[in-house]
A = this chain, B = another copy of it.
Amino acid sequence: METVSGKDLQNRILVFSGLGNRVLAEEIATFLGVPLSPTLIRKFTNDNYYVQLGTSVRGKDVFVVQPISPPCSDNLMQLFFMLDIARGAGANSIHAVIPYYSYARSDKKDAPRISIGARLIADLVVAAGATHVITMTLHSAQVHGFFSVPTDHLTAHSVFVRYFKEKIPDMNNVVVVSPDIGHAKRALKLAKALGVPAAAGEKRRLSDNRVIIDGIMGEVRGKRVLLVDDEIATGGTIAEVVEYLRGLDVTQVSVLGTHGIFAGDAVERLNKVPEIEEIIVTNTVDIPPERRPRQLKVLSVAHIFGEVIRRNVMGESVGALFEFWPMPDDQGW
């Protein structure tokens, strides 16, 4: 990974990390040519957090890297503290870098007396002091609008495209499949970039971790499938889709997800599916060894975060890095 140079940048910015994903934070800092600034994170005996930033932030542009990955409540609280400290200590600007914004799934009110959690957390992040948010691949694009401060919504699209263009020279028999009609846009975009057709499952959710696939819209029989989702949690959806595909003579499946959680018995479940050749995720979430399925391959997105930080500080356009910047031929004007 190439290091950005530029004394000016390095005098202005500080990168801090909570306990959520220090490895990614280190990579981002390295890309920017600065050290990761030290952070002290402890709990008092009454389980309250005590957080201290280890470097003076007065007048600096402060970037706090913290995904909302499990343990989510603790990771959020650390983020709130780090943002508040930067505000109270006179930072020039305060950027919440949230590679995985898990609450994006709580994006609508589909039952009475529930919270639109993605909006609540967005409001709390701002109340805690964030003046800017950087995140990647929100479950739905609309969640962007929940933030009341400028927000950069990045995509790992380019990383996946590059990977498959190298890996599969002949795309003749390939199809990109989205498990869910309701979120098929991301799969369509990948299909278009690879020059292959797309299909989508008719997914019905029975509960948080039980879904049924009622059918597949589009032609998949006998093809090599790239199965695309935004996040892989229990692997239940993936397993269901592959089972359905099995009945359609599909034997070769690559699973792609920006965010890899592998919660519950995901590892066990995915390890057992023979058709899955590989599972490709990015490093937005730090996956401990025991939660890594055998087929796992992790691609780094640190350079994307690093580049958007660099452009923010340098006052350059960041649009090209965004999740929903359309393909040129999508634009009607």
Write the residues of chain A forming the contact surface with B, with a CB cutoff of 8 angstroms.
40, 42, 44-60, 68-74, 76-77, 80-81, 84-85, 87-90, 92, 102-103, 105-120, 123-124, 127-128, 132, 140-146, 148, 150-151, 153, 181-185, 198-200, 202, 205-210, 215-218, 231, 233-234, 261, 263-264, 311-312, 314-319, 322, 324-326, 330-333
Distance between Cα atoms of A330 and B203 in the complex (Å): 12
Which residues of chain B are within 8 angstroms of A312 by Cβ–Cβ distance?
A: 58-59, 90
> Contact at B105–A44, with CB atoms within 8 Å?
yes
Please, could you name 28 A-B residue pairs with CB atoms under 8 Å apart, sorted by A? A44-B105, A45-B208, A45-B233, A46-B70, A46-B261, A48-B105, A50-B208, A53-B113, A54-B113, A56-B318, A58-B316, A59-B312, A73-B77, A81-B117, A88-B109, A89-B112, A90-B150, A90-B312, A107-B141, A107-B145, A110-B324, A111-B319, A118-B145, A120-B128, A123-B128, A127-B127, A143-B145, A199-B217
Which residues of chain B are within 8 angstroms of A319 by Cβ–Cβ distance?
A: 56, 111-113
Which residues of chain B are within 8 angstroms of A119 by Cβ–Cβ distance?
A: 145
Distance between Cα atoms of A151 and B87 in the complex (Å): 10
Partner of A114, one of B51, B90, B202: B51
Which residues of chain B are within 8 angstroms of A120 by Cβ–Cβ distance?
A: 80-81, 84, 128
Partner of A108, one of B53, B72, B141, B231: B141
Which residues of chain B are within 8 angstroms of A216 by Cβ–Cβ distance?
A: 217
Which residues of chain B are within 8 angstroms of A202 by Cβ–Cβ distance?
A: 198, 218
Partner of A315, one of B58, B102, B198, B331: B58
> Contact at B73–A117, with CB atoms within 8 Å?
no
> Contact at B40–A333, with CB atoms within 8 Å?
yes
> Contact at B48–A115, with CB atoms within 8 Å?
no
> Contact at B200–A217, with CB atoms within 8 Å?
yes
Which residues of chain B are within 8 angstroms of A326 by Cβ–Cβ distance?
A: 110-111
Looking at A68, A151, A315, the one whose CB has the most chain B CB atoms below 10 A away is A315
- The 5 A-B pairs of least Cβ separation, nearest first, read A217-B217, A207-B332, A59-B315, A112-B319, A56-B317
Which residues of chain B are within 8 angstroms of A116 by Cβ–Cβ distance?
A: 88, 144-145
